[in-house]
Structure 1
Amino acid sequence: MKLYADRVPVALRQLITDLLVVVWVYLWIRVALWIHDVVEKLAVPGRKLESAGSGIADNLADAGGKVGRVPIVGDELTAPFTGAADAARSLADAGQQQQDFVGQLALILPAVAVGVPLALVLFMWLPMRVRWIRRAGIAAAVRNDPAGQDLLALRALASQPLTKLAKLGPDIAQSWRSGDAAAVSALAALELRELGLHNR
């Protein structure tokens, strides 16, 4: 398995690209964590609202209990305190719901923020990199074998642009068909050069 090309410019380009991809992924993970922290701060008002609502509800229920002990009119005086305590509990519930919503948002937004860049890496860069590693590994394994040179020459004839093939001579395909060793070597070298490999 070959991870990097033999030729320095190609290998350097591959190494720089790989490092940029690692930095890209790291930065987006940091952005996702930052988004999570920022969104989590939105839950603070909900926590305060829940705490205040619960405190007010408890105080009103306690006051209603004390007023309820007043002889004759105690039950009538308790009703407003009970209603106010229920309203305060509703505020506390609203604070809790706001916290739940912010908690869900703190999971979804960072996932989206990191998911799109990671998808670009997984579905664009990684397949191209793996394809090159496979092609270069096979080419490096067969480049010293005469039959492998012939396969590389055939690959060059099938995939290289006509302008590059024409530079090797107008009858390069005929020379390859007739088994001309110089033509086979030139075509194999062209294919290896395209992959960034030396013709050993």
Structure 2
Amino acid sequence: MWYAQNPGRRTRQLAGDAAVLLWTAGWTAAAVVAYRMALLLTRPGPDSGVASSGSPAARLPLVGDDVGAALRSVVGVVDDIDPVTMRAGLVVSAVALFLVPVGLVLARWLPRRLRWVRQAAAARDLAESDDGRELLALRSLLRPLDEVAATATALARTPGLPDATPGSLAEGWRSADPRVIEALADAELERLGLAPGLGPAWLPVAEPAT
């Protein structure tokens, strides 16, 4: 499972994935364009590229001189470099232009997405058994105290556990109260963006093959 079942969380995940995809595509295009432009600029010959006297760029003023003079001096240096070495340097520069911004984003985004995928898969597996749901309930109680209090407040608004408090939830888990265990397990599933009620009592019955 790569996306949550909760519509709100799934929308946020889709938006985040789309943003990373667009970011990657944008920097890929930028690296390719930069590489091709660099090849044009380093093309040898006095009348080639932007260094030629007929180029519009050659007639632009640059602090009292022409851009063309500056570009021709650069091209003169470039002509002395081995073409293979020059091309390799341009490739490395283009790859670096792609890897630095994309790598920084992926280093932050990818571990979080993979961690959620692992947690969601494990939670779904645990939700298919009574022992697993008891473990999910315990995991919900082991959250930070403010999150446990928020869970108790939310459960207190439901008909099943109108008097829920953090202490009563812990006591219900210790005494294996099925209502408390189911409520806490569902709360943990909802925290991950998964649909609650995935326990054995809610598992669909397989229909016989026709």
Report the TM-score, using the length of structure 1 for normalisation. Answer: 0.69
Q: Which has the higher helix share?
A: 1
Cα gap change, 1:93/1:130 in structure 2, threshold over 3 Å: closer, same or farther?
A: closer
Q: Which amino acid aligns with 1:153?
A: A
Which of 149, 154, 179 is the equivalent residue of 2:133?
149
**In structure 1, how many angstroms separate the alpha carbons of the residues matched to 2:78 and 2:36?**
22
149, 161, 167: which one pairs with 1:163?
A: 149
Structure 2 counterpart SS, 1:48: coil
Structure 2: gaps of 5 or more residues = 49-75, 154-163, 198-210
How well do the aligned residues superpose, as a CA RMSD in angstroms?
2.6
Greater Cα radius of gyration, structure 1 or 2: 1
Q: Which runs of 5+ in 1 are unaligned?
A: 52-91
Q: What is the match of residue 110 of structure 1?
A: 94
Q: Give per-residue Cα distances to partners, 1:43-74, cap 9 Å, x unaligned.
A: 12xx115x9xxxxxxxxxxxxxxxxxxxxxxx
Q: Tell me the SS of whatever aligns to 2:81.
A: helix
| Equivalent in the alignment of 2:201 | none
* 1:38 maps to 2:37: yes
Structure 1 stretches of at least 4 aligned residues deviating more than 6 Å after TM superposition:
none
Retained in 1: the 8 A contact 2:140–2:148?
A: no
The Cα of 1:136 is off from its aligned counterpart by 0.5
Shift of 1:157: 1.3
Tell me, in whole angstroms, the C-alpha distance in 1 between the residues paired with 2:93 and 2:78. 22
Q: Does 1:178 align with 2:175?
A: yes
Among 181, 184, 187, the alignment partner of 1:187 is: 184
Percent identical among aligned pairs is: 31
CA contact (8 A) 2:136 2:188 kept: yes
Residue 103 (structure 2) aligned to one of 119, 126, 136 = 119
Structure of higher RCO (CA pairs closer than 8 Å, 6+ residues apart)? 1
